Amino acid sequence: RLRALNRLQVILQHLKMSKQTDLTAEVLLEKKGGAGIITLNRPRALNALNLSMIQQIYPQIKTWEQDPETFLIIIKGTGGKAFCAGGDIRAIREAGKVGDKLSQDFFRGEYRLNNAIGTCKKPYVALIDGITMGGGVGVSVHGHFRVATEKTVFAMPETAIGLFPDVGGGYFLPRLSGKLGYYLALTGCRLKGRDVLKIGIATHFVESEKLPALEKDLIALKSPSKEKIADLLNSYHMKCTIDQEKEFVLDEHMEKINSLFSANSMEEIVKKLKQDGSPFAMKQLETINKMSPTSLKLTLRQLREGASMSLQEVLRMEYRLSQACMKGHDFYEGVRAVLIDKDQSPKWKPAALEEVSDEFVDNCFKPLGNDDLKL
């Protein structure tokens, strides 16, 4: 009898597990009505993307795109804190240190996913509630609709970890108003709430607590066209009065941003900031001085070149840059200082902008032959 009881316990345990694993999956992919719904489900990691999530989302988007019964795709995050705080940088660092393939596979998979979203034929709606940075921007900004809330925090903080604003940053950042994209990319400046709408990263602004209702209404739409979806989003957007009167946080600085960040080289930008001498300029100088000099140079060139490229060309260029960063020093040191030891004092090599040669930068942009990103 004892054996039978034990066996029953084992079976019950197993059943409990199988039910649990579904809900504890890192990404949930489900069909509700005519909508395909992607839920990023790593709340404790702020829904950061890892390779297995990317490898599940990509084919699902491709399948839904071909499916006549799927009319739109919705992506959202769980946990209430973040939509998606970025990519799983620690895992990439560990892999890169030992020359593991993950440091190639991750970027290749992520950029292919960004491209799938950018070329998706079905309306794609990202509910960017909470922290939306790096990789989280990559799985939202290239889609048709991005709904921000009062909880949204947007940033591309990669220059602080020896990387560059990838996931198509070279495409969308230089296309923001004036030199705003250059400023955001080089300083990692964070924008919140309605400001994310004002710069054009979001297309709509809705109260966080209204998102479940919005999602329900989106799912209930009968054979929704892009126009019908836009109408529904607009109706929610128009009703939202949070921070309606608030001025754009960078309004008073836009003139300075446009002139200071229009220089052709990082050294020139630094010189302009020093010459300007205003509190705003000095604050930006202080921030830039903390960033990886190599990252700053790669980023400025990435944005200048990306301004006239297609999304596909940008992603191919960024893949080359990602692999150059994997071979370098600063990415490993930056992640150590910011995410692992958290001492916030990375020792960059080279330590000064003047020591990052044009020749070195040129090499980072060189084609990789057979290893280039194929889209």
Active site residue 158: yes
Phi, psi of 117 (to 5 degrees): -70, -40
Listed in sequence order, the residues at least 6 apart from 34 whose beta carbon sits closer than 8 Å to its beta carbon are 69, 70, 71, 72, 219, 221, 222, 223, 224
Active site residue 87: yes
Q: What share of the chain is helix, strand, coil (3-state, %, to 5)?
A: 55, 10, 35
Position of tokens 């710069």?
199
Catalytic position from the list 129, 166, 195, 333: 166
3-state SS, one letter per residue, for 136-172: HHHCCCCCCEEEECCCCEEECCHHHHCCCCCCCHHHH
Nearest by Cα to 69 from 29, 38, 36, 39 = 36
Catalytic position from the list 135, 136, 193, 306: 135
Catalytic position from the list 88, 110, 158, 318: 158
User: What is the Cα–Cα distance from 275 to 278, expressed in whole angstroms?
Assistant: 9
User: What is the Cα–Cα distance from 27 to 23, expressed in whole angstroms?
Assistant: 9
Nearest by Cα to 348 from 319, 325, 323, 321 = 325
DSSP conformation letters of 105-139: HHHHHHHHHHHHHHT-SS-EEEEE-SEEETHHHHT
Listed in sequence order, the residues at least 6 apart from 258 whose beta carbon sits closer than 8 Å to its beta carbon are 178, 179
Please, are residues 204 and 150 in contact by the beta-carbon 8 Å criterion? no
Write out the two tokens for 201: 């990263």
Nearest by Cα to 173 from 67, 284, 318, 307 = 307
Helix (H) or strand (E) holding 295: helix 293-306
Cβ of 265: how many Cβ atoms within 10 Å? Answer: 14
Write out the two tokens for 136: 């989280």
Catalytically annotated residues: 87, 135, 158, 166
